[in-house]
Amino acid sequence: MMMGRTPRPDDIHASMAPDHLTERDYAQLAEIVERHAGIKMPVGKRLMVEGRLRRRARALGLPSLNAYCHYLFGQGGLDDEFQQVVDAITTNKTDFFREPIHFERLVDTIIPDLLDSTGAGRSRPLDVWSAACSSGPEPYTLAMVLSDVAAERPGFRFSIGASDISHDILQAAARAVYPEQMIEPVPQDMRRRYLLRSRDQERPTVRICPELRQQVTFRDFNLLTKGSPWQRPMDVIFCRNVLIYFSPETQQAVLANLCDSLRSGGYLLVGHSESLNNLDLPVTPVGPAMYRRK
């Protein structure tokens, strides 16, 4: 996308209509976002989308959402603005150790199986992809867990790739600074090893330690794109709590592509509220929201 075009005066004075999205504008925006990003924008999310895009309109100096839509659709501003729209409407709910059974299974089932069957972690690094990683708690949780495994298994090596469609959220993930209340699910011993506390008592934050940050590589990636952002097949892919935002057809396409990016015998983990039933995929269920590539 081109960047940086400033709205022209006719954008700013396009309309003094009430500050909301018309049905037509919302439908047009929803169709574009789903086609290019796979994200559904049902009518029930309209107020949420309006609130987020209203902030974006103000940042551009536009007086209303009507003027913002005139800029997008009438003046070609969508070429510059599409990534900002995606960043604004993307829901980024995330936690450390979310759905913790997956991290338990990673240690007690997945890693021993892959070590025995493929040598992953021993003859070469265990390659893990956190797809739709949001602001980073999932890949950093993986880094904590796998660093503990490496401490117990001399010679164990791993590599973590993390991707998201939102450029802004990836920048936040790379900074790796979080409100202190977010670390509640992190065990105390891991907090001591892997987290650094700020000295600001009024706004307490933590930051992931440098050694852990170096274990994670972040990349911009749209899950609707064929292939992957990595130059190698992965041993484990976490793609959790993002499929619920896609249509069944988009789920099929995204998951088929993820399976193509997974080594034979590798593992795919999805959210507990997500199901692969009725999808044509080369995987076998092996645990709660956990599948093995045939």
Beta bridge partner(s), residue 128? 160, 236
Smallest CA-to-CA distance from 241 within 26, 42, 90 is with 90
CA-CA distance, 27 to 104, in Å (whole number)? Answer: 43
Which letter, b or e, does each residue of 88-114 get, where b requires 16 or more Cβ atoms within 10 Å of its Cβ? bbbeeebbbbbbeebbebbeeebbeeb
Close Cβ partners of 99 (under 8 Å, ≥ 6 residues apart): 240, 271, 272, 289
DSSP string, 17-84: --SS--HHHHHHHHHHHHHHH-----GGGHHHHHHHHHHHHHHTT-SSHHHHHIIIIISSTHHHHHHH
- Exposed/middle/buried for residue 47 (C-beta within 10 Å: 0-12, 13-18, 19+): exposed
- Give the Å distances, CA to CA, from 32 to 25, 118, 249: 11, 42, 16
Which residue shows structure tokens 């001399």? 154
CA-CA distance, 291 to 52, in Å (whole number)? Answer: 36
Under 8 Å between Cβ of 19 and 71: no
Residues tagged active-site: 52, 164
Q: For 275, phi and psi rounded to 5 degrees? A: -135, 145
Cα-trace Rg, the chain = 21
CA-CA distance, 267 to 283, in Å (whole number)? Answer: 9
The amino acid occupying position 81 is E
